[in-house]
Structure 1
Amino acid sequence: MGIAFSLIGSLAACGGGSDQGAEGDGGQVTITYARGKDQTQTTKKLIEEFEKEHPQMDIRFKEMPSDTGVSHDQYVTMFSGNSDEIDVFDLDVIWSAEFAQAGYLQPLDRFIQKDGIDLDKYVNGAVKAGRYNGKQWTMPKFVDAGLLYYRKDMVDEEDVPKTWEALTEQAEELKGEQGTSFGYVFQGKQYEGLVCNFIELIGAYGGRVLDEQGKVVIDSKGTVEGLRKLREMAQSDYVPGHVTAITEIETDAIYSEGQAVFSRQWPYHYAKMQEDGSDVMGKVGVAALPQGDAGSTAALGGWMTGINKNSKHKKEAWELIKFMNGAKGQKISAVDGGLAPTYLPLYQDEDVKKASPLFENEEFIKGVKSAVPRPVSPEYPKISDIIQVEVSKTIAGEEKPENAVKRMEQKLKKVVEGG
């Protein structure tokens, strides 16, 4: 998601050639905003509109690598060295607690309270993703949530499965019809995408990894039931035999070739299925993920924005966040960039509704509202690794769900609680 390299030069020029963080003639303040690569012109427009409203401020844009892992490591290197090169930066939803614990972020609570920001108007799961140890460290920018896609030419809207049991039944029944080979496809490879599928399944049956206090509570009936359902699907004949090697990329290919009836994917999948060359153009519907005994749960994805603890211009940095992550900025991101807002009132905005069919789709909005963050913990990378290994073994048929859950409980307690 990135901006043209020419933008970096032009924005630097806007700073009048001053050093980062310096105040020039007339009290001008230059701050640096960093985010990953942006293929749209959204970032450029956000900065232009902000500078129009704040003529005393110049924003220098620093483009980070498109690989989120590389960006993460570069941020860690900068911030661990107490660098003030960057003032404002975007974070993956799973980084907030880690960066807060490490001392890289400035708490935002006093800014939020001073300006009367109503966090209840934002996607609850996204707000929670930025909260750690009783403080709000980041503000939600845009959201991703797991969704169920279905073939409209094969399944009527009123017949879209509402439960995981119904999905498995229809997947088995419909596979092979109208040139399909599979009833359902999801991300089963041992990587972060598998964690998302796991969180969704166990959440649907009442399972959780951590409670609100950060205590490990994964060993529960709901977790076992959700993992059992995930394993059942992975071991079935209605999903690809190589499902344990499938990521979002393979999911896109399988579905665009018309090989599957249903798929679990992120919001971008909808537009991709409408591209030239897709065999399912105009044939794809979207719905919230199916329910289990405890309802429907979608894994939260997306990005947040925070302030570098070492920034010399925290007040000005907050003004940029307030604009970008508020109603005006998120509307620009939605209309020009197709990014799903975390500011819920925008789903009633006519311009936003016109920007993407998803933004006026009640099932999509339901999925966004039900999205839950992955475990909010500074130890998340280790938590994810443990879950990936144990869930991967289980869906491959190498381990029983109840045994895998007990082992995850033991390993996670050592990492999270030191027990």
Structure 2
Amino acid sequence: MRRVWTVGRTLIVGVLLVAACAGSGVRSEVSPVTSDGRGPLTLATGRDLTGYLSDVLADWNRTHPAERVDLVELPEAADEVHAQMQDSLREGSRRFDVLNIDVAWTAEFAGNGWIAPVDRSRLPVGRLLPSVLDTATYEGRLYAVPYVTNAGLLFYRKDILDREHLSPPRTWRELADQASALSDKYGMQGYAGQFLPYEGLTVNVTEAIQSAGGSLTDHDGRVTVTSPEAREALDFLTSGLREGWIPQEALTYKEENSRLAFEEGKLLFLRNWPYVHALASAPGSAVAGKFAAVPLPGLEGPGTGVLGGSNLAVNARSAHPRSAADLMTYLLSEDVQRRVLTEGGLPPVWAPLYEDPALIRRYPYLPALAESVRTARVRLKSVDYEQVSLAVAAVTHGALAQRTTPAAALDRLDRELRDILASRHP
């Protein structure tokens, strides 16, 4: 059973109201708790692929010399970031004050008492995309501050589709037909996502199931992966690999592998996150100026993505929760949110930025992204989500690799998910 840390006393903090645990006997790797909750901070995040966050924090440090932030970049892979954060928090460590966490981890971290609640009334709710607050809640309470949102997009070779007088695919059938015919004609690979067995595959499979009208669980928490819709979704992906318009290499792809394959001109179609746009448009990219992005296709029309992104949370054991709250306010400000997009290439959570004509000219995918975020669904909110994700990825990868049938894989997944979710909610 997981250790649950009890939140001891509530501190009223500057701009945000954060409940923080004072706790005794916890190993301290930073300065001791101060009476006013202020002092230097450590921000933990996954690897910053564009390097923008260091500059954003440097601006904070220049104006807050007594509350300087040290940035700790963990590995690129989400699973490794999760493991390192989880280990530190489970031990009751104060090593990290603020954590930039995947939206899928909010429920786990909150349910275990590792992160402190946040006062919703202090957030600029009216300026945020409507869906992002849901990713930061657990059991009706806000435990994090939305920072970056995300939804998968279909990147495609616009130059080739224009040459063939084709519109980008809106359905799976159109995607399969174009990927198969054009890959042969142009000597390229057809379509890829992230199909290595990790969280990326869980997202890809969940997107496919949702885009066929299904789900992993229903509103009451009952497992629904043996539905006809889920079967059709897994059939679609496995048939792509069997028929060859999804290359076998895709079974080893994470985000960066697949991004590089597209950027090097090997792929016609790529499912990935919006950060790809900035990197694939940079000097030296073989596809700069030759691609565009649209919402993901689905069974009979535009698909339904998985809401991604990251939230900022305060370690419940932080020595300086008031400074941590102020830092989160700064990172949620409109100026920083604009830099999240323009310097980081990441989707901000401020809704007005998606309607800014100058930004749309610079980032023409913004309208498609806004629509994708609007229709995307939040991942399963469970303290056991990490186990759920591991099961989905491991079992469905067997079907994609043709080691088992989609029907057998989904039957096995049904049993495993029931066992995982029943262990805590009998």
TM over 0.5: yes
**Distance in 2 of aligned mates of 1:249 and 1:366:** 24
Asked if residue 60 in structure 1 is aligned to residue 69 in structure 2, the reply is yes
* Counterpart among 196, 200, 217 of residue 193 in structure 1: 200
Which residue does the alignment assign to 1:42?
Answer: 53
| Deviations 1:166-209, CA, capped at 9 Å, x for gaps | 111221222222x3332222222222221121011101011111
Equivalent in the alignment of 2:182: 174
Structural mapping, 1:155-174, within 5 Å: 155-156=161-162, 159-174=167-182
1:272-287 matched pairs, under 5 angstroms: 272-287=279-294
The question of 1:398 aligning with 2:403 is answered: yes
For 1:363 and 1:57, how far apart are their aligned partners in 2?
Answer: 42
Whether the 8 Å contact between 2:170 and 2:302 is mirrored in structure 1 is no
Partner of 2:227: 220
Q: 1:269 Cα shift? A: 2.0
Structure 2: runs of 5 or more not aligned: 1-29
Q: TM-score, normalised by structure 1?
A: 0.83
1:382, distance to aligned residue in structure 2 (A) = 1.2
**Displacement of 1:391 after TM fit?**
0.8
What SS does the corresponding residue of 2:56 show, helix, strand or coil?
helix
* 1:204-353 map, 5 Å: 204-293=211-300, 295-349=302-356, 352-353=359-360
Q: Is 2:37–2:323's contact at 8 Å kept on the other side of the alignment?
A: no
Q: Percent identity?
A: 26
Q: CA 1:237–1:337 in 2, change beyond 3 Å: closer, same or farther?
A: closer
Aligned match of 1:383 in 383, 388, 404? 388
- 1:348-384 Cα offsets, whole Å, 9 max, x none, are 2356446x524x6322322233333332221122111
Seen in structure 2, the aligned counterparts of structure 1 residues 260 and 334 have a Cα distance that, compared at 3 Å, is closer
Paired with 1:64 and 1:184, the residues of 2 have a C-alpha distance of: 31
Give the match's secondary structure for 2:287.
coil
Distance 1:100 1:382 in 2: 16
1:368 aligns with 2:373: yes
Structure 1 gaps of 5+ residues are 1-17
Distance (whole Å) between structure 2 residues aligned to residue 120 and residue 213 of structure 1: 31
- Does the Cα contact within 8 Å between 1:123 and 1:342 map onto a contact in 2? no
- Counterpart residue type for residue 337 of structure 1: G
Q: What is the DSSP-based 3-state SS (H/G/I as helix, E as strand, rest coil) of the residue aligned with 1:261?
A: strand
Question: Which residue of the other structure, out of 99, 112, 126, is the alignment partner of 1:89?
Answer: 99
Cα deviation, residue 21, structure 1: 4.6
Per the TM alignment, residue 283 of structure 1 is displaced from its structure 2 partner at its CA by 0.9
Counterpart position of 1:10: none
1:135 to partner: Cα distance: 1.8
Q: Give, in whole Å, the separation in 2 of the partners of 1:322 and 1:315.
A: 11
- Aligned partners of 2:37 and 2:214: how far apart in 1? 52
CA contact (8 A) 2:147 2:312 kept: yes
C-alpha contact (below 8 Å) 1:42/1:332 kept by paired residues? no
Separation in structure 2 between the aligned mates of residue 247 and residue 56 of structure 1, nearest angstrom: 39
Whichever residue aligns with residue 98 of structure 2, its letter is: V
Deviations 1:37-92 (A, max 9, x none): 4352434434635874xx69623324142344444333333323333343322112
Contact 2:360 2:367 in 1 (8 A): no
Distance 1:230 1:28 in 2: 51
Find the aligned partners of 1:119 and 1:103 in 2 and give their Cα distance. Answer: 28
Give the Cα separation in 2 of the matches to 1:331 and 1:47: 16
- 1:103 maps to 2:110: no
Q: Which runs of 4+ in 1 moved over 6 A?
A: none
Structure 2 CA distance for aligned equivalents of residues 196 and 122 of structure 1: 21
SS in 2 for 1:194: helix
TM-score with structure 2 setting the length: 0.81
Cα pair distance change 1:259/1:42, threshold 3 Å: closer
Mapped partners of 1:321, 1:57: distance in 2: 16
Shift of 1:301: 2.8
Q: Is the alpha carbon distance of 1:181 and 1:313 closer, same or farther for their aligned partners in structure 2, counting shifts above 3 Å? A: closer
Structure 1 range deviating more: 159-168 or 185-194: 185-194
Closer, same or farther: CA 104–352 of 1 in aligned 2, 3 Å: farther
Measure how far apart 1:230 and its partner are: 1.4
- The offset of 1:287, in angstroms, is 0.7
Aligned-partner Cα distance in 1 for 2:53–2:101: 17
Two-structure CA RMSD over aligned residues (Å)? 2.9
C-alpha contact 2:57 2:69 (8 A) present in aligned 1: no
> Could you say if the C-alpha distance between residues 136 and 213 of structure 1 is closer, same or farther in structure 2, counting changes exceeding 3 Å?
farther
* Count, aligned residues: 390
Shift of 1:34: 0.9
Paired with 2:257 and 2:294, the residues of 1 have a C-alpha distance of 21
Q: CA deviation at 1:163?
A: 0.9
2-structure distance, mates of 1:112, 1:387: 33
State the distance in 2 between where 1:397 and 1:73 align.
Answer: 30
**Aligned: 1:30 with 2:35:** no
SS for the counterpart of 1:416 is helix
